[in-house]
Amino acid sequence: KQEVTQIPAALSVPEGENLVLNCSFTDSAIYNLQWFRQDPGKGLTSLLLIQSSQREQTSGRLNASLDKSSGRSTLYIAASQPGDSATYLCAVRPVNQGGKLIFGQGTELSVKP
Amino acid sequence: SAVISQKPSRDICQRGTSLTIQCQVDSQVTMMFWYRQQPGQSLTLIATANQGSEATYESGFVIDKFPISRPNLTFSTLTVSNMSPEDSSIYLCSARREPGELFFGEGSRLTVL
């Protein structure tokens, strides 16, 4: 059974710092991995999608990496800003499971001015 | 990308009543899903909404409690039946146009008294 774990559960950093969020998954049989952002009381915003054949994806100050064989992904946020404060969720799409995503518990990020 | 609209965005309901949540996507999609996010928790898949046929439910979720319709490629509804306070959650509609990202609506926050 696929399980997704995110570490740390919460993180507080001063503005301007670079930071890394970690995601691990137990079964490497995945189609892709997706990172989301969720603001309090809101839906999820897709940040980056990494296909299983890819090693990384970049969007602006965000860079996500994928090491499928070791079951790990990282989300790197450069030059953090208070507006980056949110919960970041990692999710994997397992092979042969009808297209659903399995989510981690999320990392709650707070960027202090 | 796809824009997903959900109605209602929030509601306060009485125990024992039922509420139907509507999800409209701005373009045709291959897959639609309904997730639940209980307070302080990550997302759990309720079911895959199948066009023109019965939804595929995850373990722990049943059609009598969460009937789902998907009459076409852009619209789905989720009904939460005979509600109890334990059903207080955010219910999120999501959609994918293969082989891309999964997109989410803003969610429907239900409070059951």
Chain B residue with the nearest C-alpha to that of A88: B42
Average of pLDDT values for A30-46? 93
CA distance to partner chain B, nearest, from residue A44 (Å): 6
Model confidence over A80-103: pLDDT tens digits?
A: 999 999 999 999 999 988 888 999
Alpha-carbon torsion (A49, A67, B58, B11), positive or negative: negative
* % of chain B beyond a pLDDT of 90: 81
Per the CB < 8 Å rule, is A44 touching B92? yes
CB contact under 8 A, B48 and A44: no
pLDDT at residue B59 tops 90: yes
Of B33, B100, B105, the CB nearest to A43: B105
- Residue B23, pLDDT > 90, answer yes
- Whether chain A has a CB inside 8 Å of the CB on B5: the answer is no
Give how far Cα B55 sits from Cα of A22, B46, B59, Å: 33, 10, 13
Q: What is the pLDDT of chain A when averaged over all its residues?
A: 95
Measured CA distances, A50 to A34, A56, B5, B39 (Å) = 6, 6, 25, 28
Name every chain A residue with its beta carbon within 8 A of the beta carbon of B103.
Answer: 46
Q: Which residues of B touch A100 (CB under 8 A)?
A: 33, 45, 48, 58
What was the pLDDT predicted at A10?
95
Closest CB to B92: pick one of A43, A91, A93. A43
Q: Using CA atoms, how far apart are residues B1 and B110, in angstroms rounded to an integer?
A: 27
Mean pLDDT, residues B34-45 taken together: 92
* B100 pLDDT tier (thresholds 50, 70, 90): confident
The yes-or-no verdict on residue A1 having pLDDT over 90 is no
Mean pLDDT over all residues of chain B? Answer: 93
pLDDT at B52: 86
Q: What is residue A42's predicted lDDT score, i.e. its pLDDT?
A: 86
